[in-house]
């Protein structure tokens, strides 16, 4: 369903009217394309506090002064007490206006230290700062906080955040370096997943189709799994991407074993994307609506993950990416079943991630989409749909490609130190903020 309001506000009368009546003014976002793979311009590198950080190269030119930077990276890892927060203000206040449209602000911090309340107060302050700046900065610009434990392992994360690939990721706090997963530079940076196999559940359409396409772009052989009723679509997607289709209902008790049988050499990237909704308020929700949602969205994810890890089917250096939702973070009327299933994904990811890394050298993360333009959201009644689209800092819905790019960043061989993270792809939705 096209966002006609976004097209309208791009016209001169649209700009005039929306300004006149104080209506949301979404800026067209600049997303990745082969012709436009990078942000145009310099990355302004600023510091606050006494830092010892050696910033990993993110493939962009870092400068210490720029008239119209494409991005600003503020190294605030040296902010160890509340007084040093003045340096955050002093660094960003003069330059924030000059950041280009669809530009980026990335704040680098460290984890708040439970043993040092001065440091913890200052570092936690960066979170409120980041989220507030994200809400006011406008013009399609995003603001995110990266908490570094191992700065050397942050290259893939900075490359993602400082690129058009992260267009719809804003207001996020991302931890890097909490584990010790292998961080491997790919032989071909344009095809980082070359030689790897990725399986995407629910890959026949919507977000899953976009994820399969993006992983194939990055060089992976993709296996497009979907229910037997969607087999024709799954085959069409797989053929287009040079991959294979697998017709399988992921809720089957033996789904894990059947995936392992279909992929005797194992797999490297497992994307749990299949999901359904069966909305009703709890008073009107029979078990016929509760059970399938819990089964597809959560129980089958737990079952197949357990089965594939136990069978050693996810190769060392592998990646598991599950799909949560802002409804699992904020809750949503009429979605007790869906909200429960998606919050369950968050619990699963946080608990399993350290063990999967220790025992299998596999990372486990989740994307939590907000309002994404798909058939699922096109079916939402007009007014609720319009509210969903606008109630975020970028005042527009995201595209399946936005979720796909975030998945590709998790899947990247150099993202081994990104583990146990739940990253919302929601344009900084006001829901669950």
Ligand X SMILES: NC(=O)c1ccc[n+]([C@@H]2O[C@H](COP(=O)([O-])OP(=O)(O)OC[C@H]3O[C@@H](n4cnc5c(N)ncnc54)[C@H](O)[C@@H]3O)[C@@H](O)[C@H]2O)c1
Segment contacting ligand X by CB under 6 A, of 37-45, 94-102, 140-148, 205-213: 205-213
Q: Select 155 or 388, whichever has its Cβ closest to ligand X.
A: 388
Residues 388-407 that bind ligand X (CB under 6 A): none
Q: How far is the CB of 324 from ligand X (least distance, A)?
A: 7
Q: Select 75 or 402, whichever has its Cβ closest to ligand X.
A: 402
Q: How far is the CB of 343 from ligand X (least distance, A)?
A: 12
Q: How far is the CB of 234 from ligand X (least distance, A)?
A: 8
Report in angstroms the alpha-carbon separations of 273 from 26, 129, 204, 211, 410: 28, 32, 11, 9, 14
Q: Select 26 or 186, whichever has its Cβ closest to ligand X.
A: 26
Chain centroid, CA 332 distance in Å? 20
The DSSP code for 416 is: T
Judged by CB under 6 A, does residue 307 bind ligand X? no
Judged by CB under 6 A, does residue 213 bind ligand X? no
Residues 309-348 that bind ligand X (CB under 6 A): 323, 325
Cα separation, 393 vs 383, in Å, equals 19
Residues 246-305 that bind ligand X (CB under 6 A): 249-251, 273-276, 296
How many residues can be counted in the chain? 433
The order of strands in the sheet holding 173-176 is 62-63, 43-49, 71-78, 104-109, 142-148, 173-176
Q: Which of 46, 55, 352, 372 binds ligand X (CB under 6 A)?
A: 372
Report in angstroms the alpha-carbon separations of 107 from 17, 47, 127, 433: 35, 10, 9, 18
Cα separation, 175 vs 111, in Å, equals 8
Tell me which residues are annotated as active site: 338
Residues 227-246 that bind ligand X (CB under 6 A): 227, 230
DSSP string, 320-337: EEEE--THHHH--TTBHH
Write out the residues near ligand X by the rule CB under 6 A: 201-202, 204-208, 226-227, 230, 249-251, 273-276, 296, 323, 325, 369, 371-372, 374-377
């Amino acid at each position: 369903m096209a966002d006609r309001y976004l097209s309208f506000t791009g016209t001169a009368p649209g700009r005039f009217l929306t300004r006149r009546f104080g209506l949301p003014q979404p800026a067209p976002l600049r997303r990745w394309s082969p012709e436009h793979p990078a942000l145009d311009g310099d990355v302004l590198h600023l510091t606050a506090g006494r830092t010892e950080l050696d910033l990993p190269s993110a493939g962009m030119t870092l400068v210490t002064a720029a008239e119209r930077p494409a991005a600003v990276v503020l190294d605030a890892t040296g902010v160890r007490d509340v007084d040093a927060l003045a340096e955050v203000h002093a660094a960003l206040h003069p330059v924030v206006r000059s950041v280009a449209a669809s530009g980026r602000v990335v704040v680098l911090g460290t984890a708040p230290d439970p043993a040092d309340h001065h440091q913890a107060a200052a570092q936690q302050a960066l979170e409120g700062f980041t989220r507030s700046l994200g809400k006011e900065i406008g013009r399609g610009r995003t603001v995110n906080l990266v908490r570094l434990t191992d700065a050397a392992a942050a290259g893939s994360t900075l490359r993602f955040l400082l690129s058009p690939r992260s267009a719809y990721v804003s207001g996020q706090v991302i931890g890097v370096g909490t584990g010790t997963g292998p961080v491997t530079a790919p032989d071909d940076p344009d095809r980082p997943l070359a030689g790897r196999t990725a399986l995407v559940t629910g890959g026949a359409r919507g977000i899953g189709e976009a994820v399969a396409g993006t992983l194939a772009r990055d060089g992976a052989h993709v296996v497009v799994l979907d229910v037997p009723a969607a087999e024709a679509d799954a085959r069409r997607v797989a053929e287009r991407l040079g991959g294979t289709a697998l017709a399988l209902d992921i809720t089957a008790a033996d789904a894990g074993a059947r995936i392992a049988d279909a992929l005797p050499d194992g797999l490297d990237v497992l994307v749990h994307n299949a999901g359904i909704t069966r909305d009703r308020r709890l008073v009107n929700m029979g078990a016929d609506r509760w059970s399938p949602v819990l089964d597809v969205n959560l129980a089958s994810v737990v079952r197949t993950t357990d089965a594939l890890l136990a069978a050693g089917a996810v190769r060392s250096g592998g990646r598991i990416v599950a799909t949560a939702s802002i409804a699992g973070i904020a809750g949503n009327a009429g979605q007790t079943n869906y909200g429960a299933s998606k919050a369950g994904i968050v619990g699963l990811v946080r608990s399993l991630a350290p063990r999967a890394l220790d025992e299998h050298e596999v990372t486990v993360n989740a994307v939590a989409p907000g309002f994404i333009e798909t058939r699922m959201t096109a079916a939402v009644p007009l007014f609720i749909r319009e509210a969903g689209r606008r109630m975020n800092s970028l005042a527009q819905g995201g595209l399946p490609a936005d979720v796909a790019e975030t998945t590709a960043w998790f899947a990247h061989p150099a993202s081994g130190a990104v583990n146990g993270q739940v990253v919302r792809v929601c344009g900084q939705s006001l829901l669950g903020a």
